[in-house]
Structure 1
Amino acid sequence: MKGASSFPGKCWTWFRALLFALLLPALAQGLTEGQARLLDRLAEEALKADPAYLQALADLEAARASLGILGALSAEAGASLAGEYGQVAPSYRLALSLNLADLFRDRGPALRALEARAEAARREARVRVAEAFFRWLAAREAARAAADGVEAREAELKALQARARVGAAAPHEVLAAAERLSQARLALYRANLDLALALEDLARAVGLPLDALRGLLRPLEEEGGTPGAPRPPKGP
Protein backbone atom coordinates (compact mmCIF):
# COMPACT_ATOMS: atom_id res chain seq x y z
CA MET A 1 0.00 0.00 0.00
CA LYS A 2 2.88 2.36 0.73
CA GLY A 3 4.34 1.87 -2.74
CA ALA A 4 0.93 2.36 -4.34
CA SER A 5 0.32 5.59 -2.44
CA SER A 6 3.65 7.04 -3.57
CA PHE A 7 3.04 6.18 -7.23
CA PRO A 8 0.98 9.33 -8.03
CA GLY A 9 3.67 11.50 -6.46
CA LYS A 10 6.36 9.86 -8.57
CA CYS A 11 4.26 10.33 -11.70
CA TRP A 12 3.80 14.02 -10.93
CA THR A 13 7.52 14.46 -10.30
CA TRP A 14 8.34 12.76 -13.60
CA PHE A 15 5.72 14.81 -15.47
CA ARG A 16 6.97 18.08 -13.97
CA ALA A 17 10.57 17.24 -14.91
CA LEU A 18 9.47 16.36 -18.47
CA LEU A 19 7.47 19.59 -18.80
CA PHE A 20 10.36 21.67 -17.52
CA ALA A 21 12.76 19.91 -19.90
CA LEU A 22 10.51 20.87 -22.81
CA LEU A 23 10.33 24.49 -21.62
CA LEU A 24 14.04 24.74 -20.80
CA PRO A 25 15.22 25.87 -24.29
CA ALA A 26 12.68 28.70 -24.31
CA LEU A 27 13.62 29.77 -20.79
CA ALA A 28 17.32 29.61 -21.58
CA GLN A 29 16.86 32.09 -24.44
CA GLY A 30 15.95 34.75 -21.87
CA LEU A 31 19.24 34.37 -20.00
CA THR A 32 22.11 36.77 -20.33
CA GLU A 33 25.45 35.42 -21.53
CA GLY A 34 26.79 35.42 -17.98
CA GLN A 35 23.75 33.58 -16.65
CA ALA A 36 24.01 30.94 -19.39
CA ARG A 37 27.68 30.36 -18.60
CA LEU A 38 26.90 30.11 -14.91
CA LEU A 39 24.10 27.60 -15.53
CA ASP A 40 26.49 25.41 -17.53
CA ARG A 41 29.07 25.63 -14.73
CA LEU A 42 26.51 24.67 -12.09
CA ALA A 43 25.36 21.70 -14.19
CA GLU A 44 28.98 20.52 -14.55
CA GLU A 45 29.47 20.74 -10.80
CA ALA A 46 26.30 18.74 -10.21
CA LEU A 47 27.43 15.95 -12.57
CA LYS A 48 30.67 15.52 -10.62
CA ALA A 49 28.72 14.19 -7.60
CA ASP A 50 25.46 12.90 -9.10
CA PRO A 51 25.18 9.20 -8.06
CA ALA A 52 22.90 8.13 -10.91
CA TYR A 53 25.09 9.72 -13.57
CA LEU A 54 28.35 8.39 -12.12
CA GLN A 55 26.91 4.87 -11.82
CA ALA A 56 25.66 4.99 -15.40
CA LEU A 57 29.09 6.10 -16.61
CA ALA A 58 30.79 3.31 -14.64
CA ASP A 59 28.46 0.68 -16.11
CA LEU A 60 29.04 2.04 -19.60
CA GLU A 61 32.83 2.00 -19.24
CA ALA A 62 32.74 -1.54 -17.84
CA ALA A 63 30.64 -2.69 -20.79
CA ARG A 64 33.00 -1.06 -23.27
CA ALA A 65 36.00 -2.64 -21.56
CA SER A 66 34.44 -6.10 -21.95
CA LEU A 67 34.27 -5.85 -25.75
CA GLY A 68 36.56 -7.92 -27.97
CA ILE A 69 38.66 -10.97 -27.27
CA LEU A 70 39.80 -9.80 -23.85
CA GLY A 71 36.23 -9.69 -22.68
CA ALA A 72 35.60 -13.28 -23.78
CA LEU A 73 38.88 -14.57 -22.36
CA SER A 74 38.89 -15.96 -18.83
CA ALA A 75 41.70 -17.39 -16.77
CA GLU A 76 41.79 -19.77 -13.84
CA ALA A 77 44.82 -20.24 -11.64
CA GLY A 78 45.35 -22.44 -8.63
CA ALA A 79 47.90 -24.30 -6.54
CA SER A 80 47.80 -27.62 -4.74
CA LEU A 81 50.14 -29.72 -2.65
CA ALA A 82 50.92 -33.31 -3.62
CA GLY A 83 53.54 -35.84 -2.53
CA GLU A 84 54.22 -39.28 -1.23
CA TYR A 85 56.18 -40.89 1.56
CA GLY A 86 55.63 -37.83 3.67
CA GLN A 87 57.22 -35.50 1.17
CA VAL A 88 55.14 -32.60 -0.13
CA ALA A 89 55.74 -31.06 -3.58
CA PRO A 90 53.86 -28.04 -4.94
CA SER A 91 51.72 -28.41 -8.04
CA TYR A 92 50.52 -25.40 -10.05
CA ARG A 93 47.94 -25.02 -12.80
CA LEU A 94 46.86 -22.23 -15.12
CA ALA A 95 43.86 -22.57 -17.40
CA LEU A 96 42.73 -20.16 -20.12
CA SER A 97 39.38 -20.39 -21.84
CA LEU A 98 37.81 -18.44 -24.69
CA ASN A 99 34.04 -18.08 -24.76
CA LEU A 100 33.21 -17.87 -28.45
CA ALA A 101 29.56 -17.10 -27.74
CA ASP A 102 30.55 -13.99 -25.81
CA LEU A 103 33.13 -13.08 -28.46
CA PHE A 104 30.65 -13.00 -31.35
CA ARG A 105 27.59 -11.82 -29.43
CA ASP A 106 26.20 -8.48 -30.61
CA ARG A 107 26.49 -6.13 -27.65
CA GLY A 108 25.38 -3.08 -29.58
CA PRO A 109 21.85 -2.92 -28.10
CA ALA A 110 23.18 -3.29 -24.56
CA LEU A 111 25.75 -0.56 -25.12
CA ARG A 112 23.18 1.76 -26.63
CA ALA A 113 20.91 1.15 -23.66
CA LEU A 114 23.73 2.05 -21.26
CA GLU A 115 24.58 5.13 -23.30
CA ALA A 116 20.94 6.19 -23.22
CA ARG A 117 20.82 5.68 -19.47
CA ALA A 118 23.93 7.81 -18.97
CA GLU A 119 22.53 10.53 -21.20
CA ALA A 120 19.18 10.43 -19.38
CA ALA A 121 20.95 10.77 -16.02
CA ARG A 122 22.99 13.70 -17.36
CA ARG A 123 19.89 15.41 -18.73
CA GLU A 124 17.94 14.83 -15.51
CA ALA A 125 20.71 16.36 -13.42
CA ARG A 126 20.90 19.38 -15.72
CA VAL A 127 17.13 19.87 -15.64
CA ARG A 128 17.16 19.65 -11.84
CA VAL A 129 19.88 22.31 -11.63
CA ALA A 130 18.19 24.53 -14.21
CA GLU A 131 14.87 24.33 -12.40
CA ALA A 132 16.48 25.38 -9.12
CA PHE A 133 18.48 28.08 -10.90
CA PHE A 134 15.39 29.66 -12.48
CA ARG A 135 13.58 29.53 -9.13
CA TRP A 136 16.51 31.37 -7.57
CA LEU A 137 16.49 34.00 -10.32
CA ALA A 138 12.75 34.54 -9.88
CA ALA A 139 13.09 34.76 -6.09
CA ARG A 140 15.91 37.28 -6.44
CA GLU A 141 13.88 39.47 -8.77
CA ALA A 142 10.91 39.26 -6.40
CA ALA A 143 13.15 40.35 -3.51
CA ARG A 144 14.47 43.27 -5.54
CA ALA A 145 10.94 44.32 -6.48
CA ALA A 146 9.90 44.10 -2.82
CA ALA A 147 12.89 46.27 -1.83
CA ASP A 148 11.86 48.84 -4.44
CA GLY A 149 8.34 48.73 -2.98
CA VAL A 150 9.64 49.52 0.48
CA GLU A 151 11.62 52.48 -0.87
CA ALA A 152 8.53 53.80 -2.68
CA ARG A 153 6.34 53.46 0.40
CA GLU A 154 8.94 55.17 2.57
CA ALA A 155 9.10 58.09 0.15
CA GLU A 156 5.31 58.24 0.07
CA LEU A 157 5.08 58.32 3.87
CA LYS A 158 7.72 61.05 4.16
CA ALA A 159 5.90 63.17 1.59
CA LEU A 160 2.57 62.79 3.38
CA GLN A 161 4.16 63.58 6.74
CA ALA A 162 5.64 66.76 5.27
CA ARG A 163 2.28 67.72 3.84
CA ALA A 164 0.53 66.94 7.13
CA ARG A 165 2.84 69.33 8.98
CA VAL A 166 1.55 72.20 6.88
CA GLY A 167 -2.04 71.01 6.97
CA ALA A 168 -2.13 69.72 3.36
CA ALA A 169 -2.76 66.08 4.33
CA ALA A 170 -5.17 64.52 6.79
CA PRO A 171 -3.96 62.30 9.67
CA HIS A 172 -5.80 59.28 8.29
CA GLU A 173 -3.82 59.61 5.03
CA VAL A 174 -0.57 59.45 6.99
CA LEU A 175 -1.81 56.41 8.91
CA ALA A 176 -2.81 54.69 5.67
CA ALA A 177 0.63 55.38 4.18
CA ALA A 178 2.28 53.98 7.32
CA GLU A 179 0.17 50.83 7.00
CA ARG A 180 1.19 50.45 3.36
CA LEU A 181 4.84 50.79 4.39
CA SER A 182 4.36 48.11 7.05
CA GLN A 183 2.84 45.77 4.47
CA ALA A 184 5.68 46.48 2.04
CA ARG A 185 8.27 45.64 4.70
CA LEU A 186 6.44 42.40 5.47
CA ALA A 187 6.44 41.55 1.76
CA LEU A 188 10.19 42.22 1.64
CA TYR A 189 10.75 39.93 4.62
CA ARG A 190 8.81 37.14 2.91
CA ALA A 191 10.63 37.70 -0.37
CA ASN A 192 14.01 37.51 1.35
CA LEU A 193 12.94 34.30 3.07
CA ASP A 194 11.89 32.81 -0.27
CA LEU A 195 15.22 33.89 -1.74
CA ALA A 196 17.15 32.16 1.05
CA LEU A 197 15.15 28.96 0.56
CA ALA A 198 15.68 29.11 -3.20
CA LEU A 199 19.43 29.49 -2.64
CA GLU A 200 19.46 26.42 -0.38
CA ASP A 201 17.50 24.43 -2.98
CA LEU A 202 20.02 25.44 -5.65
CA ALA A 203 22.92 24.41 -3.42
CA ARG A 204 21.33 20.98 -2.90
CA ALA A 205 20.67 20.56 -6.62
CA VAL A 206 24.27 21.41 -7.48
CA GLY A 207 25.73 19.49 -4.54
CA LEU A 208 27.82 22.37 -3.21
CA PRO A 209 28.01 24.05 0.21
CA LEU A 210 26.33 27.44 0.42
CA ASP A 211 29.64 29.31 0.67
CA ALA A 212 31.00 27.63 -2.46
CA LEU A 213 27.77 28.32 -4.33
CA ARG A 214 27.83 31.98 -3.31
CA GLY A 215 31.36 32.16 -4.70
CA LEU A 216 30.11 30.96 -8.08
CA LEU A 217 27.16 33.36 -8.02
CA ARG A 218 29.22 36.40 -7.04
CA PRO A 219 30.29 37.35 -10.61
CA LEU A 220 26.64 37.31 -11.65
CA GLU A 221 25.73 39.62 -8.78
CA GLU A 222 28.55 41.98 -9.75
CA GLU A 223 27.27 42.08 -13.34
CA GLY A 224 23.90 43.27 -12.09
CA GLY A 225 21.93 40.04 -12.62
CA THR A 226 18.98 39.80 -14.94
CA PRO A 227 18.14 42.48 -17.52
CA GLY A 228 16.26 45.45 -16.11
CA ALA A 229 17.26 44.68 -12.52
CA PRO A 230 19.00 47.42 -10.54
CA ARG A 231 22.72 46.97 -10.19
CA PRO A 232 24.08 46.53 -6.65
CA PRO A 233 25.58 49.72 -5.21
CA LYS A 234 29.26 50.21 -5.84
CA GLY A 235 31.66 50.56 -2.97
CA PRO A 236 33.37 53.88 -2.23
Structure 2
Amino acid sequence: MRWAFLLFALLPALAQAPGLTQEEARILDRLVEEALPRDPGYLRALADLEASRQTLGILGAVSAEVGASLAGEYGQVAPSYRLAVSLNLAELFRDRSPALKALEAQVEAQRREVRVRVAGAFFRWLSAREAARTAADGVEAREAELKAQQARARVGGATPAEVLAAAERLSQARLALYRANLDLALALEDLARAVGLPLDALRALLRPLEAQGGTSVAPPGPRGP
Protein backbone atom coordinates (compact mmCIF):
# COMPACT_ATOMS: atom_id res chain seq x y z
CA MET A 1 0.00 0.00 0.00
CA ARG A 2 3.01 2.33 -0.15
CA TRP A 3 1.91 3.62 -3.54
CA ALA A 4 -1.46 4.55 -2.07
CA PHE A 5 0.05 6.70 0.68
CA LEU A 6 2.46 8.22 -1.83
CA LEU A 7 -0.41 9.16 -4.12
CA PHE A 8 -2.32 10.68 -1.19
CA ALA A 9 0.73 12.74 -0.28
CA LEU A 10 0.92 14.01 -3.85
CA LEU A 11 -2.76 14.94 -4.07
CA PRO A 12 -2.30 18.57 -2.88
CA ALA A 13 0.34 19.08 -5.56
CA LEU A 14 -1.84 17.42 -8.17
CA ALA A 15 -4.71 19.70 -7.23
CA GLN A 16 -2.51 22.68 -8.09
CA ALA A 17 -1.12 21.15 -11.29
CA PRO A 18 -2.01 22.86 -14.58
CA GLY A 19 -3.92 19.77 -15.73
CA LEU A 20 -6.39 19.91 -12.81
CA THR A 21 -8.64 22.94 -12.69
CA GLN A 22 -10.03 24.48 -9.52
CA GLU A 23 -13.48 23.13 -10.37
CA GLU A 24 -12.09 19.62 -10.90
CA ALA A 25 -10.31 19.79 -7.53
CA ARG A 26 -13.55 20.93 -5.88
CA ILE A 27 -15.50 18.08 -7.45
CA LEU A 28 -12.85 15.58 -6.33
CA ASP A 29 -13.27 16.77 -2.73
CA ARG A 30 -17.04 16.43 -3.07
CA LEU A 31 -16.71 12.89 -4.42
CA VAL A 32 -14.54 11.93 -1.44
CA GLU A 33 -17.14 13.41 0.92
CA GLU A 34 -19.80 11.30 -0.76
CA ALA A 35 -17.67 8.14 -0.59
CA LEU A 36 -16.66 8.30 3.10
CA PRO A 37 -20.09 7.62 4.68
CA ARG A 38 -20.58 4.75 2.22
CA ASP A 39 -17.30 2.96 2.90
CA PRO A 40 -17.65 0.01 5.33
CA GLY A 41 -14.01 0.10 6.45
CA TYR A 42 -14.15 3.79 7.31
CA LEU A 43 -17.46 3.40 9.16
CA ARG A 44 -16.10 0.48 11.22
CA ALA A 45 -13.00 2.43 12.18
CA LEU A 46 -15.13 5.44 13.11
CA ALA A 47 -17.44 3.28 15.24
CA ASP A 48 -14.47 1.71 17.08
CA LEU A 49 -13.06 5.14 17.81
CA GLU A 50 -16.38 6.47 19.11
CA ALA A 51 -16.84 3.39 21.32
CA SER A 52 -13.38 3.87 22.77
CA ARG A 53 -14.07 7.53 23.50
CA GLN A 54 -17.27 6.59 25.32
CA THR A 55 -15.30 4.48 27.79
CA LEU A 56 -12.92 7.30 28.71
CA GLY A 57 -13.18 9.18 32.02
CA ILE A 58 -15.14 8.38 35.15
CA LEU A 59 -18.09 6.78 33.36
CA GLY A 60 -15.86 4.04 32.07
CA ALA A 61 -14.60 3.25 35.57
CA VAL A 62 -17.96 3.23 37.38
CA SER A 63 -19.99 0.07 37.82
CA ALA A 64 -23.38 -0.12 39.50
CA GLU A 65 -25.50 -2.90 40.97
CA VAL A 66 -29.20 -2.41 41.62
CA GLY A 67 -31.43 -4.87 43.45
CA ALA A 68 -34.66 -5.09 45.41
CA SER A 69 -35.90 -7.34 48.27
CA LEU A 70 -38.85 -7.64 50.62
CA ALA A 71 -38.42 -7.57 54.40
CA GLY A 72 -41.27 -8.15 56.81
CA GLU A 73 -41.78 -8.12 60.57
CA TYR A 74 -44.88 -9.17 62.52
CA GLY A 75 -46.64 -10.06 59.35
CA GLN A 76 -45.99 -6.71 57.72
CA VAL A 77 -44.13 -6.64 54.42
CA ALA A 78 -42.06 -3.60 53.46
CA PRO A 79 -39.86 -3.11 50.34
CA SER A 80 -36.11 -2.82 50.77
CA TYR A 81 -33.94 -1.46 47.92
CA ARG A 82 -30.19 -1.41 47.51
CA LEU A 83 -27.88 0.42 45.10
CA ALA A 84 -24.20 -0.46 45.00
CA VAL A 85 -21.83 1.79 43.09
CA SER A 86 -18.15 0.99 42.77
CA LEU A 87 -15.35 3.05 41.31
CA ASN A 88 -12.36 1.28 39.81
CA LEU A 89 -9.53 3.73 40.45
CA ALA A 90 -7.05 1.67 38.46
CA GLU A 91 -9.37 1.79 35.47
CA LEU A 92 -9.98 5.51 35.97
CA PHE A 93 -6.33 6.48 35.92
CA ARG A 94 -5.22 4.01 33.27
CA ASP A 95 -3.63 5.81 30.35
CA ARG A 96 -5.69 4.98 27.28
CA SER A 97 -4.07 7.51 24.98
CA PRO A 98 -1.97 4.94 23.02
CA ALA A 99 -5.05 2.86 22.20
CA LEU A 100 -7.05 5.96 21.37
CA LYS A 101 -4.30 7.28 19.13
CA ALA A 102 -4.12 3.92 17.37
CA LEU A 103 -7.85 4.05 16.63
CA GLU A 104 -7.58 7.64 15.43
CA ALA A 105 -4.72 6.61 13.14
CA GLN A 106 -6.86 3.77 11.83
CA VAL A 107 -9.69 6.20 11.02
CA GLU A 108 -7.25 8.50 9.22
CA ALA A 109 -5.75 5.57 7.31
CA GLN A 110 -9.21 4.51 6.14
CA ARG A 111 -9.96 8.09 5.13
CA ARG A 112 -6.77 8.20 3.09
CA GLU A 113 -7.54 4.87 1.47
CA VAL A 114 -10.96 6.11 0.38
CA ARG A 115 -9.49 9.34 -0.98
CA VAL A 116 -6.79 7.50 -2.92
CA ARG A 117 -9.34 5.10 -4.41
CA VAL A 118 -11.70 7.88 -5.45
CA ALA A 119 -8.87 10.09 -6.72
CA GLY A 120 -7.45 7.27 -8.83
CA ALA A 121 -10.84 6.57 -10.41
CA PHE A 122 -11.44 10.29 -10.93
CA PHE A 123 -8.08 10.80 -12.66
CA ARG A 124 -8.71 7.80 -14.91
CA TRP A 125 -12.09 9.28 -15.85
CA LEU A 126 -10.48 12.64 -16.61
CA SER A 127 -7.90 10.90 -18.80
CA ALA A 128 -10.59 8.90 -20.64
CA ARG A 129 -12.63 12.07 -21.06
CA GLU A 130 -9.69 13.90 -22.64
CA ALA A 131 -8.97 10.91 -24.89
CA ALA A 132 -12.59 10.91 -26.08
CA ARG A 133 -12.40 14.61 -26.84
CA THR A 134 -9.18 14.11 -28.79
CA ALA A 135 -10.73 11.22 -30.72
CA ALA A 136 -13.80 13.34 -31.54
CA ASP A 137 -11.52 16.11 -32.84
CA GLY A 138 -9.73 13.49 -34.93
CA VAL A 139 -13.00 12.43 -36.55
CA GLU A 140 -13.81 16.04 -37.41
CA ALA A 141 -10.38 16.50 -38.96
CA ARG A 142 -10.68 13.32 -41.03
CA GLU A 143 -14.18 14.28 -42.17
CA ALA A 144 -12.88 17.63 -43.37
CA GLU A 145 -9.98 15.91 -45.09
CA LEU A 146 -12.28 13.50 -46.92
CA LYS A 147 -14.58 16.31 -48.08
CA ALA A 148 -11.57 18.25 -49.34
CA GLN A 149 -10.28 15.23 -51.27
CA GLN A 150 -13.70 14.60 -52.76
CA ALA A 151 -13.91 18.25 -53.86
CA ARG A 152 -10.45 18.02 -55.41
CA ALA A 153 -11.36 14.76 -57.14
CA ARG A 154 -14.36 16.42 -58.81
CA VAL A 155 -12.04 18.92 -60.51
CA GLY A 156 -9.31 16.38 -61.21
CA GLY A 157 -7.00 17.49 -58.39
CA ALA A 158 -7.07 14.17 -56.50
CA THR A 159 -7.03 10.56 -57.63
CA PRO A 160 -9.58 7.95 -56.58
CA ALA A 161 -6.84 6.25 -54.55
CA GLU A 162 -6.31 9.45 -52.54
CA VAL A 163 -10.04 9.69 -51.87
CA LEU A 164 -10.13 6.06 -50.75
CA ALA A 165 -7.14 6.62 -48.47
CA ALA A 166 -8.88 9.61 -46.88
CA ALA A 167 -12.03 7.54 -46.40
CA GLU A 168 -9.97 4.79 -44.73
CA ARG A 169 -8.40 7.30 -42.36
CA LEU A 170 -11.89 8.56 -41.47
CA SER A 171 -13.00 4.98 -40.78
CA GLN A 172 -10.01 4.44 -38.47
CA ALA A 173 -10.72 7.72 -36.67
CA ARG A 174 -14.33 6.69 -36.09
CA LEU A 175 -13.16 3.35 -34.71
CA ALA A 176 -10.78 5.17 -32.37
CA LEU A 177 -13.66 7.38 -31.22
CA TYR A 178 -15.82 4.33 -30.55
CA ARG A 179 -13.08 2.78 -28.44
CA ALA A 180 -12.49 6.04 -26.60
CA ASN A 181 -16.21 6.33 -25.86
CA LEU A 182 -16.22 2.78 -24.50
CA ASP A 183 -13.23 3.53 -22.28
CA LEU A 184 -14.96 6.67 -21.05
CA ALA A 185 -18.13 4.76 -20.18
CA LEU A 186 -16.12 2.12 -18.29
CA ALA A 187 -14.16 4.80 -16.44
CA LEU A 188 -17.43 6.46 -15.42
CA GLU A 189 -18.76 3.16 -14.06
CA ASP A 190 -15.50 2.57 -12.14
CA LEU A 191 -15.78 6.04 -10.62
CA ALA A 192 -19.39 5.39 -9.61
CA ARG A 193 -18.34 2.17 -7.85
CA ALA A 194 -15.44 3.92 -6.10
CA VAL A 195 -17.72 6.66 -4.77
CA GLY A 196 -20.69 4.36 -4.09
CA LEU A 197 -23.16 6.43 -6.10
CA PRO A 198 -25.53 5.44 -8.92
CA LEU A 199 -24.58 6.71 -12.35
CA ASP A 200 -27.31 9.36 -12.47
CA ALA A 201 -26.20 10.89 -9.15
CA LEU A 202 -22.57 10.79 -10.24
CA ARG A 203 -23.36 12.51 -13.55
CA ALA A 204 -25.14 15.25 -11.61
CA LEU A 205 -21.97 15.90 -9.59
CA LEU A 206 -19.78 15.90 -12.71
CA ARG A 207 -22.09 18.11 -14.76
CA PRO A 208 -20.42 21.43 -13.75
CA LEU A 209 -17.34 20.33 -15.70
CA GLU A 210 -19.33 20.54 -18.94
CA ALA A 211 -19.67 24.30 -18.53
CA GLN A 212 -15.89 24.61 -18.78
CA GLY A 213 -15.67 22.88 -22.15
CA GLY A 214 -14.36 19.45 -22.97
CA THR A 215 -16.47 16.44 -23.71
CA SER A 216 -19.85 15.73 -22.22
CA VAL A 217 -20.12 13.43 -19.21
CA ALA A 218 -22.05 11.06 -21.47
CA PRO A 219 -19.77 9.80 -24.28
CA PRO A 220 -20.66 11.34 -27.66
CA GLY A 221 -21.98 9.09 -30.37
CA PRO A 222 -20.34 8.57 -33.75
CA ARG A 223 -20.83 11.34 -36.26
CA GLY A 224 -21.96 11.10 -39.82
CA PRO A 225 -19.75 11.97 -42.80
TM-score interval, smaller chain: 0.7 to 0.9
- Partners of 1:79 and 1:159 lie apart in 2 by 100
Q: Identify if the C-alpha distance between structure 1 residues 61 and 156 changes in structure 2 by more than 3 Å, giving closer, same or farther.
A: same
Aligned to 1:183: 172
Aligned counterpart for 1:51 among listed residues 26, 40, 46 = 40
Shift of 1:108: 0.7
Query: If the length of structure 1 is used for normalisation, what is the TM-score?
Result: 0.81
What is the Cα deviation at residue 165 of structure 1? 1.3
Structure 2 Cα separation of the partners of residues 218 and 158 of structure 1:
34
Question: Is the counterpart of residue 139 in structure 1 residue 128 in structure 2?
Answer: yes
1:167 to 1:100, Cα distance in 2 relative to 1, 3 A: same
> 2:56 is paired with a residue of what secondary structure?
coil
Aligned to 1:6: none
Counterpart selection for 2:86 from 97, 100, 113: 97
SS where residue 75 of structure 1 aligns?
strand
The one-letter amino acid paired with 1:222 is A
Equivalent residue number for residue 223 of structure 2: none
Q: What does residue 26 of structure 1 align with? A: 13
The answer on whether the counterparts of 2:15 and 2:22 sit within 8 Å (CA) in structure 1 is no
- The unaligned stretches of length 5 or more in structure 2 are 221-225
Paired letter, 1:183: Q
Asked whether the 8 Å contact 2:28–2:119 carries over to 1, the reply is yes
Provide the rounded CA distance (Å) in 1 between the counterparts of 2:80 and 2:188.
Answer: 67
The alignment partner of 1:109 has SS state of helix
TM-aligned CA deviation for residue 92 of structure 1: 5.4
Residues 170 and 106 (structure 1), Cα distance of their counterparts in 2 relative to 1, 3 Å cut: same
- Distance of aligned partners of 1:209 and 1:80 in 2 relative to their CA distance in 1, 3 Å threshold: farther
- The match for 2:182 is 193
TM-score (norm 2): 0.85
1:76-101 CA distance string (max 9 Å, x none) = 33567899xxxx99775543222222
1:161 corresponding residue in structure 2: 150
Q: What's the offset of the Cα at 1:42?
A: 0.7
The runs of 5 or more residues in structure 1 that have no matched partner are 1-13, 227-231
How has the CA–CA distance of structure 1 residues 79 and 185 changed in structure 2, closer, same or farther, with 3 Å as cutoff? farther
Q: Distance in 2 between matches of 1:208 and 1:78?
A: 51
SS class of match (2:84): strand
SS in 1 for 2:66: strand
Query: Would you say 1:119 and 2:120 are equivalent positions?
Result: no
2:41 partner letter? A
- Structure 1: which amino acid aligns with 2:86? S
The sequence identity of aligned pairs, in percent, is 81
Shift of 1:67: 1.0
| 1: CA distance, partners of 2:111 / 2:105 | 10
Count of residues in correspondence between the two structures: 212
| 1:37 maps to 2:20 | no
The structure 1 residue matched to 2:159, chosen from 141, 162, 170, is: 170
Distance 1:172 1:15, change over 3 A: farther
Aligned to 1:77, the other structure's residue is in SS state strand
Deviation at 1:22, TM superposition (A): 4.0
CA distance in 1, matches of 2:171, 2:47: 56
2:135 corresponds to which letter in structure 1?
A: A
Quote how far apart the aligned CAs of 1:188 are.
Answer: 0.3
Q: Distance in 1 between matches of 2:125 and 2:195?
A: 13
